[in-house]
Structure formats: structure tokens, C-alpha cells
Amino acid sequence: MNGTGDVVSTARVLRERRARLDADEVEFLASVAADTEDLPGLAEELAPELRVSVREVENRIHAALDLTTRMPRVLVAMRDGLMDAYGARRVLHVTAPLSDEHAREVDELLAEKLARAPVSTWQPVNMVRHVSRLVHQIDPGGATARARQANAGRKVELLHGEHAQSRLTLDLRSEVASACYARMDSMARRLRRNGETRTLDQLRADIAADLLLGNDPGVAVPEAAAQVYLHMPIDAALAITDNGCELDGYGPVPGPVAREIMTNTASIWRKVICDPATGGPVDLGRTRRRPSATMRELVRVRDRECTVPWCHRPARHCDIDHEREWAAHQGGTSIDNTGPRCRRHHRRKNAPGWITRYDPTHGTTAITTPRGATHTGHRSPILTPRAQATDEPPPF
């Protein structure tokens, strides 16, 4: 690239190539979806191949079906290299509440608009604004129903990020969300006027957490009271090293952060006894009377996540499932015959065409899908096995 022209033309070529590849995927997914009645099963099978979550594959399949049946002109724009999958899905989100007939009307009007629109109109935020106007133009009487339908989909999502930070998002009605933010902002500004040194962003985040956890808002950094598992080697707990700490459902966390969680006055310690040869847990410190409850907790501590290789649902939110069925195959109720499966994969295990093999002792999973692809996974031990370690102390 020797000049501005080369840079611009290369950027244009890459954008068009990406849009056409996205269109290829849309047509592929729509084609295979048309040949099956089990869309969740198809998404489950394609997730490890596309290297995305099952939910993302389901979203792509539904988007592909909508583009081919409800908004074919948007798909044409993708084939022409004018719009990528991100922009198309933004358009689909706005038109989702419409009937098929109204969606196709918006599709036609949008195509006419984009055919003579300046470049800025193609930017997703501007295009969504224009599509929203078209939706209201085509179906003005449905605005109230669309608002109520959107409100019915309100939810809370936990999105784990990097550096031991995660994001908690709430989808709420606009006036409710605005009122929540205004209250947090007002409390944060009052604390700032009273000498608080945290930034307004930090204060708003801490106040939100305090309100959810039932703490006194803004007085100190919020302390969690819900149950999570924190795995720590004894040397990390004693600040000898900062390695080997892992937060259940999240992944590795720095040693100092793990020690802050450990020393929280609301934390409860529990001894986990590990086999030094395999690194896997074999027992828990007994603080409860019912062995079955202890066994379930040990299985969740041992496996940490759903046993399906591409699923990262925390084990504490999973069913404890028999590998050999209890009734049909005389499978015993023991830690050697049980493992955590999220509800989706618990139901999928015995679906036609799916072959699932899980070895709880060694933590290996092999899954063969209806179309013959086999995927394997292996859980990581809590303790580094003695054969791999030098002189590491036992876990805490």
C-alpha cells in the first residue's frame, strides 16, 4: 500500500469480502435449517465447528431464516458487499415484532432508500434509525404492542470479561432504566460532594452492586454474599505465590484478588482434599449431615463446568446427572458415576443420534453428533498432579 488510494481500495475490498462471506453463511444456515425439524440440535452440532456459543448459532440460524424469508433484499445487499452480518442483524432486531407481510414491505422500502443513500446512511446506527421510521410508517398502530413485546423480553445477563472483571446488564423499560440510573447518579454525586475520592463511574457501579446485595450504598466497596467457589492453592492463600487461583464459572484470577475474596468477612472456607497423583478432589471437609448433599457439592467442585466440551455453564447451575442411567443400566449414585450437565445438555444426552461418553474418574468427555463429528474434552485438575509438579504444596 503506497498511497491513500491503496488504503481506501483495500478497506473497501475487505468490507465487501466480509459481507459476501456473511451472506454465504446465511444461505448455508438457512439451507440446512430447512432440512431439519430440530433447530436446537442443529445449533448444538454446529457450535463447536463455528467456534461460537450454542446461543450465538441459534441467533445466526434464526437471522438466516428471517433474511431469506422476510427480508430478502437485505440479503441481496449482503451478497453485493454493501452490508455485513452485524448491520443485517441490527435491522432484523428492529423489524422482529412485525408480521412477515409488514417486514417484507419495510425490506422493499429500505432497499429503495439504500440504493440512493449516501455512505453515512449505511452505518448501522443511522440505518437502524431509518428502519425504525419505516417500521412506524408501515405499522403505526402496532407501536404499543411492539413496546409491550419488548418489555416482555426484559432480562439480566452476566457477561464475563478480562482481568477479573465482568459486566452485569439489565434490559428494562426506558423510563425504569432512566430512573435507576438517575438514582445511582444522584447518590454518587452526593457522596462526591461529601469527600468521596472514587470517580463517579466507580461510585455508580459500587452503588448498583450495594443495592443489589442489600448493603449500605456507597459506604465501601461492595461485598458479595452469594455462594461461589474460589479454588486456591495453600501457597497462594499464604501469599507465597500468586498462581493457581480460579473463580468458579469465570476462570483464573490474580492471587491478590483471590486473597481479597478469601479474606472477605462474608466468605466461608471449605477444605478440599485432592488426590496428589491426579490432582482431582476426592473429598470435602464434612460440615453437613447429609452425605448426598456433600456428594453433589464434591461433583460440582470437581468438574466446575458442564461436562460438554463447548459448554461453560458453571456446575453449580447444572443438574447432577448419572453417566450410566440409574434405573435402566443399574448406574450407581456415586461420584464415579455422576457429573454436572446443564439442563440443555442433560436433555440432549439421550436425543436420537447423539452419543455421549463421560468418564467422571478421569474427567474425559467424548461426544459424537448425529452427522458423525466427534469432539473430546478433558477437565483441568484443581491440583497439579504430583508427576507434573516440583514441590508444590496441596490445595486449600
Q: What would the pLDDT profile of 338-368 be if each residue is shown by its tens digit?
A: 788 899 898 888 888 998 888 887 788 899 9
Compute the distance between CA of residue 252 and CA of residue 230 in angstroms, rounded to an integer. 10
pLDDT band at 269 (very low <50, low <70, confident <90, very high): low
A 10 A CB-CB count for 94 gives 19
pLDDT for residue 380: 74
pLDDT for residue 291: 38
Average pLDDT over residues 127-147: 89
Let me know: does 61 contact 33? Beta carbons within 8 Å.
Answer: yes
pLDDT band at 230 (very low <50, low <70, confident <90, very high): confident
pLDDT band at 289 (very low <50, low <70, confident <90, very high): very low
> Could you tell me what percent of the chain has a pLDDT over 70?
80
Compute the distance between CA of residue 87 and CA of residue 74 in angstroms, rounded to an integer. 10
Give the residue with greater pLDDT, 264 vs 66. Answer: 66
pTM of the model as a whole: 0.70
Give the residue with greater pLDDT, 284 vs 259. Answer: 259
pLDDT for residue 256: 82
Q: Which of the residue ranges 106-110, 149-153, 332-336, 386-390 would you say has the lowest mean pLDDT?
A: 386-390
Grid cell for residue 162: 478480562
pLDDT for residue 222: 54
Average pLDDT over residues 23-38: 96
Q: Which of the residue ranges 98-112, 258-272, 303-317 would you say has the lowest mean pLDDT?
A: 258-272
Average pLDDT over residues 313-332: 69
Tell me the per-residue pLDDT of 52-78, one tens digit each, with 9 for 90 and over.
Answer: 999 999 999 999 999 999 999 999 999
Average pLDDT over residues 100-112: 94
Q: Which of the residue ranges 63-67, 209-213, 303-307, 334-338 would you say has the lowest mean pLDDT?
A: 334-338
**SS3 at position 164:** coil
Let me know: does 328 contact 291? Beta carbons within 8 Å.
Answer: no
Average pLDDT over residues 181-202: 92
pLDDT for residue 327: 47
pLDDT band at 108 (very low <50, low <70, confident <90, very high): very high
pLDDT band at 286 (very low <50, low <70, confident <90, very high): very low
Average pLDDT over residues 26-45: 95
Average pLDDT over residues 194-219: 89
**Residue 385: pLDDT over 60:** no
Average pLDDT over residues 27-34: 97
- Torsion angle defined by CA atoms of residues 202, 208, 214 and 216, in that order, rounded to the nearest 10 degrees: 40
What are the C-alpha distances in Å from 358 to residues 119, 280, 332, 349?
53, 16, 15, 11
Give the residue with greater pLDDT, 92 vs 248. Answer: 92
Q: Write down the mean pLDDT value for the chain.
A: 82
Specify whether the backbone of 171 is left (phi greater than 0), alpha (psi in -120 to 50) or beta: beta
Sequence letter at residue 234 = I
